[in-house]
Amino acid sequence: MIETAGIRKETMNLNTPDAASNPSTVPVVRKGSPYKNCQRVIYGTAQTDCTIKAVARYAHLHVSSYRLDPSLTVEELDNYLKSRNILNAKLEKLQSKRPDEYSSFRVSVPMDVIEDVKNPATWPKDACINRFFFRLLKKDIKI
């Protein structure tokens, strides 16, 4: 028997002969969500009579591969995405570890087209698309 935060839990081995011969032995299943008391996020739905506006949410992706040409420019990638009907993309060329071998980009797109961007058929063979992880900036500490 284990006591955790005032909740009593019993463990039993259901593979023993005693458990198979005793029909009253029933495994205990926890009902409900463990996140029951967590607050839910609320998204607004007002359409016309709202005087304030929310900004569009963007997904940030890292596009790289050892197969992307190092001479690929932001304009060329932007034209490529527009040809695939991915509009309003924000692009930034990143400093690669080996800039003479490949190129890397941060691609920020609206959330409504994220599935098109994640589609493997959108990208050339061997291109790698991952979530973009922002680096935390070290703040100056003054003593």
Instruction: Judge whether 53 lies within some domain.
Output: no
pLDDT of residue 40: 77
Instruction: Give the pLDDT confidence of 16-72 residue by residue, as tens digits.
Output: 666 556 656 566 666 666 666 666 778 777 777 777 878 888 889 888 866 678 888
Residue 112 within a domain = yes
Domain that holds residue 87: 58-131
Rounded Cα distance between 1 and 91, Å, is 57
Q: Can you give the pLDDT at residue 75?
A: 94
Domain count, the chain: 1
Cα dihedral sign, 32-37-41-47: positive
Q: Is residue 18 part of a domain?
A: no
CATH number of domain containing 68: 3.30.70
